[in-house]
Chains A and B, each alone.
Chain A
Amino acid sequence: MFKISAILAMLFALSGCSMTLPVQGVSTNDSELFTGTATGYLSGKGDLNFTSNMGRTCTGTFKYNDNFDKGVGGISCNDGSQGDFVFYSSGVSGHGFGNMNDGTRGQFLFGDLPSFSQIDWNEANSVYKSISYELSNMLYYCDDFPKTPKCSAKAKD
């Protein structure tokens, strides 16, 4: 009995364990900047929220792959726009790229990542497509964010 309780207590403790990191990014929308936070859980899922200096407020979710080195996610903003994003992660920091359904694209970093500098938007798009292809079986968020470019395309298929 004690063993089961101990295991249950440990599972609860572990599932409650999370890490919140700062997020900052730029978009193609005339130097729109956004800052916020991303919280990752041991389950491999996470949520994020951020606001932009143009007043856009967005919330979303993300999920890591099995190796916990890459992931995908979806967001929804208060202006009605929705988007997909992909990211690389080292566990405590990382960077990623996103595409909104209003045509805006973004690059972001989370955690302390002094090695990251913004890359050319065409290159960013290539990386976005490459990771999206690699993780195409992880499109889990279309029920919540059906209007993202990827979810819209999936719905048409």
Chain B
Amino acid sequence: MKINKSVFLLIICFTLQGCKQGMFTKYSAVPFAPRDGGVKSILSKGQIVSIQDKTNTVSVYLKYGLITEGVAGDFYIALVNHTSESITFNPYDISISVSNDIGMTQVFPYTRREFLQKIKTKYDNQAALAILLGALSAASAQYTASTTYYSGTVSAYVPSNTYGGFYYPGGTVHGSYSGYSYNPAAGWAAAEIQNLKTNNAVANIRQQRDNEMSLYDNALLSQRPIEPNATYAGLVVSKENLNIKNPKELTINIKFGGEDYTFKYKISKNNL
């Protein structure tokens, strides 16, 4: 199959996009020792969870205890309303900052709509690439299946004769033949099979997209009232910020019920 230069570059570009995140350094983040009190940490469900009790309770854990240079991290946050009033939680009440030797950088969390759109775009790009590659494969399959190369040799005895005043002695002559034949039905069938494969691949990608969007739609924290004695928990995904180089400290501040709940993490190079 021949792939032209622009398609080749497109594939390289998509491949690099996929690797982009893997190229960044990973750091481990450990909650600071609670010198000012108020924050305790426990091991829960395989993670170090930090808990802060004030009027209400807020707990946080950083997914895998890791942050990635340029990406910050994903946080699971649980909020418990201990008051007798309903408290409205808004994801904009969460602020994340990362400090390094240069200074402090604010990292903003994705809103639910933004993050779902990001997932949709990622999978739609994959589907577009699958369609493009599928079309190229179908064209190639059609050509291969419909075009047959044939060749062979022939031998024949030719009797002696006179032609145009010249005498030709009789004898066996040998020759060869070759060429291409075209079978449109075979080509069409091969292209259809390839198109079917592409359609299946695209359907799988779209299914994955829908599953992931559904998963995050349920997991991402969004604005909502939290009733007395109720708990609301979910995921916060921070936006990429390329200013985060050599991070040293990560701070998550959550405003809940009029109080600030602050969690600090010490960042160090991950040895794994």
Which A residues are within 8 Å of any B CB, using their own CB? Answer: 20-22, 24-26, 30-37, 51, 53-54, 107-109, 112-118
Contacts and interface: CB of A to CB of B under 8 A. Distances in A.
Nearest to A108: B43
Nearest to A114: B46
B109 interface: no
B272 A116 contact: no
Contact of B42 (A26, A51, A54, A113): A26
Contacts of B266: 53
Main secondary structure of the interface of B (DSSP, over half): strand
Interface string B175-186: 000000000000
Main secondary structure of the interface of A (DSSP, over half): strand
B17 interface: no
A126 to B, nearest CB: 18
Contacts of A32: 33
B43 A24 contact: yes
Interface residues of B, number: 21
A58 to B, nearest CB: 14
B43 A53 contact: no
B216 interface: no
B32 interface: yes
B45 A33 contact: no
A35 B30 contact: yes
A30 to B, nearest CB: 7
Nearest to A93: B46
Contacts of A54: 33
A42 to B, nearest CB: 19
Nearest to B44: A117
